[in-house]
Amino acid sequence: MPESVARQVLAFDFGTRRIGVAFGQQLLGTARPLTMLPARDGKPDWDRIAALLEEWRPDLLVVGLPLNMDGSENDMCARARKFGKRLHGRFHLPVEMADERLTSFEAKGEVMAAHGHQDFGRHGVDDLAAVLILETWFNQQSSP
């Protein structure tokens, strides 16, 4: 079995106030939400990220890239790329960017369906968006 198929991956849904985190195994193609980390103007608590990396020991990190619907980049794309570069620089793990168009929208729909209202403060969407980012990335890896 190729080594690349058995990787453990952490995914990040980067935001300026919160960063959603999900964990998944590429062999199974499944992901699950882990946590939502607070951020100050996009700056995370690096110690909390270090603790997650120590606990989950991923082989790869995936960061969502919030492209516009037409595929063009925006200001948040630059910030997400900068976050990815900082992850790589601090923790020396490979980082890949993944198209995350509509993942937050889809995650909000899942929360509303489960809870019947828009209480996103208590039932956040960022960790669910990270799951969707990771599952999309897994599907892209398995496609020829």
The predicted-structure confidence for 74-97, as pLDDT tens digits, reads as follows 999 999 999 999 999 999 999 999
Q: How far apart are CA 44 and CA 83, in angstroms?
A: 9
Q: Which residue ranges make up each domain of the chain? A: 3-142
Q: Compute the mean pLDDT over every residue in the chain, rounded to the nearest whole number.
A: 85
Beta-strand runs (E) in 7-142: 8-13, 18-25, 30-40, 43-44, 60-65, 95-99
**pLDDT digits 0-9 by tens, 96-132:** 999 987 655 454 455 445 545 554 444 468 888 899 9
Instruction: Tell me whether strands 8-13 and 60-65 are parallel, antiparallel or unpaired.
Output: parallel
Degrees, nearest 5: CA angle 71-124-84: 45
User: For residue 101, what pLDDT is reported?
Assistant: 78
> CATH top-level class for 3-142?
alpha beta
DSSP secondary structure letter of residue 22? E
The tokens of 51 are what?
Answer: 């603790």
Q: How far apart are CA 141 and CA 29, in angstroms?
A: 10
Higher-pLDDT residue of 35 and 113 is 35
| pTM value surpassing 0.75 | yes
